[in-house]
Amino acid sequence: MQLSHICRNRSSQRYHRYRHSIMPTQEEQYKTILSHYLPATAVDPIYSFIVTNAVHFRISASRTSKLGDYRMPQQRHPFHEISVNGDLSPHLFLLVLLHEMAHLNTFLLYGRQVAPHGHEWQEQYRQLIIQYRDGGHFPKQVIPLLDRYTSHIPLHHPTGQQIERMLKQLDSPGSRVGILTLSELPIGSTFRLSNRPTMLFRNIEKRRTRHLCIDVRTGTRYLINGAAEIILSDTI
């Protein structure tokens, strides 16, 4: 699903002229789409960010390798593009979207001269989390973790993963009990992904927020996000 009418123009001046031509009913359509995925309080500020930055925003099918993605403007791709997996719970969807928005802000400030998840990006992500925390867009139960996560640079990845797990549980109370994530699984264990139960994987190596895993049947290797929900398997 795409909000593809919002963001074909790279220049913000050209975009704002286009923005004024959007009918109120169209704006409501876009916000209605966003409301299916985001916490209700976050719809307006996220819509404003998309409009202001002329973002080509795509709601993606579930991906095991990543929860979201940012693509900077290129010659054949002259606009910002952000995608977020559409199967995420609302507050986790917001958190992932803030992660990608931080990439866009970092690009606007520094261009291509900095590391994708370096100090510059971490500071932009930190500022966005604080902004949306202070705006009341996250549940109060997760605020202490957000405070700890944003207290200093570099950001603490294990705390970030704790936040992801808590947001899933808070968005779907009672439905996540007993569900494991890949980050909790020992190296060498076999497992199946909750959204792809026919495939059997072995956890080989942890690489920051992702895990190198191998498809036991085909030998194909995959990088899978540590927050992916898994089903333990003893069958090889």
The residue ranges of every structural domain in the chain are 2-171, 180-232
User: Average pLDDT in the 6-27 region?
Assistant: 42
Q: From the CB of residue 146, how many other CB atoms can be counted at a distance below 10 Å?
A: 21
Range 90-103 burial, b when 16+ CB lie within 10 A, else e: bbbbbbbbbbbbbb
What's at 99, amino acid-wise?
H
User: Whole-model pTM?
Assistant: 0.69
Give me the percent of the chain exceeding a pLDDT of 90: 54
Residue 76's pLDDT is: 84
Q: Which CATH topology does 180-232 take?
A: SH3 type barrels. (2.30.30)
Rounded distance between C-alpha atoms, residue 234 and residue 236, angstroms: 7
Residue recorded with tokens 């791709």: 77
Residues 147-206 have pLDDT tens digits of: 999 999 999 888 898 899 889 888 875 444 445 788 877 788 888 888 888 899 999 999
Residue 25's pLDDT is: 63
Give residue 19's pLDDT band: very low, low, confident or very high (50, 70, 90): very low
